[in-house]
Amino acid sequence: MTKQSNQANQKLPLQGAGGARIIISGGGTGGHIFPAIAIANALKKLNPDTEILFVGAKGRMEMEKVPAAGYEIIGLDIQGIQRKSILKNLMFPVKLLGSVRKAVQIIKDFKPDACVGVGGYASGPLLYAAGVMKVPTLIQEQNSYAGITNKILGKKAKKICVAFDGMDKFFPKERIIKTGNPIRKESVDIVGKHMQALELYKLSSRKKTILVTGGSLGAGTLNKSMLAGLDKLIAADVQVVWQTGKFYYKSILAQLGDNIHPNICVVEFLNRMDLAFAAADVIISRAGAGTIAELCVVKKPVILVPSPNVAEDHQTKNALALVTEGAAVLVADRNAEAQLVDKALELLSDKDLQKKLSDNIGKLAMPNADEVIAKEVIQITINN
């Protein structure tokens, strides 16, 4: 078993009068970027004098999101391995070597007390360079199945912060701390907001509501499944808050036509995730680690449809970690179009199963992961 960190309740000595100097590396997706920013905010909360530098990948979304959060970022010219294109991989070794050289220079210039890797393209070169230069490192592994880069980096990391049990399959057991994944706390603050949510989405308090969310870009399978089962949902008089995602919104509207049923609220993006969660009786979602961390805090019955288009099929492994605890229902991506809406309607009509799922997923919540991880970061600078 991994151990649960007790650092959330400890007061730690902080790094000098000026605070620690910390590099946080990684990104590529919101699932990496939002936890990284949450850790940075927690470090600044511990000591406002903490100096933080982000290192990301050029052209990726962290180059926009991190400065918007108020932090400096330097980009590396790095890419991932392209599984579907051998030609695109020809430049990978060159870019990797160049990124490691630049990471070495960044570390020389910034002189960090510790480096944190949250996953994503830039995390590998930066943490590798830090290990070679004897700078203490911490890995925040978000998924239940560690990727190859983190497995390599974990051999030298002082601490590996994880969100799931059984991670000693991938990392040295004595360095694992079960902290959970940092969440966007404003997104899970749903208490007392049900009526406000219904008003926002123009929903009735007398009808049950399903929330469908495939992330900001959307999930094609979830959209196809909703289209396939739309008549069943309307016949059951069930309401739907349906986030299509940026890539699919216009095409979904075109397919629905001008007369969208009043029970169906179609949105491109959920600007108020807290109200979307508050409106829902049942949630249908992909199974990214950050999403699961938020769902555990929200404590609503959830059906997970893991994306098959991810490394090592890690979303399925994330979902199964909940299913084995009786905390979620899983529908495979390949079966979703035929089965998803039926499963959702079955769940809406089964109050006992709803309660069981809500109770069990709530037991897995770790809402203060950002603070716990930040204290682990400070601890490795003290012990170094």
Most confident of the following: 255-259, 269-273, 310-314, 343-347? 343-347
Note down the domain range covering 139: 3-182+367-383
Annotated binding-site positions for UDP-N-acetyl-alpha-D-glucosamine = 29-31, 143, 184, 216, 315
Q: Which stretch of 37-51, 87-101, 239-253, 271-285 has the lowest confidence by average pLDDT?
A: 87-101
**How distant, in Å, are the alpha carbons of 18, 41, 243, 313, 360 from that of 329?**
49, 33, 20, 17, 12
Among 80-84, 98-102, 170-174, the minimum mean pLDDT is found in 80-84
**pLDDT above 90 for 37:** yes
Task: Mean pLDDT check: name the lowest of 116-125, 223-232, 269-278, 339-348.
Answer: 116-125
Q: What is the phi/psi pair of residue 158, to 5°? A: -70, -40
Given this model, what pLDDT does residue 5 score? 47
Task: Tell me 2's DSSP state.
Answer: P
Residues 219, 125 share a domain:
no
286 with 376, same domain: the answer is no
Average pLDDT over the chain, rounded to an integer: 90
Residues 202 and 67 reside in one and the same domain: no
* Ramachandran quadrant class, 70 (left: phi over 0; alpha: psi -120 to 50; beta: rest): left
Binding residues: 29-31, 143, 184, 216, 315
Asked if 16 and 56 sit in the same domain, the reply is yes
Region at 352 (left for phi over 0; alpha for psi -120 to 50; beta for the rest): alpha
Same domain, 137 and 13: yes
| Chain segment 362-371, per-residue pLDDT in tens | 999 999 999 9
358 and 375 share one domain: no
Q: What is the CATH number of the domain that holds 347?
A: 3.40.50.2000
Does one domain contain both 174 and 214? no
pTM: 0.85
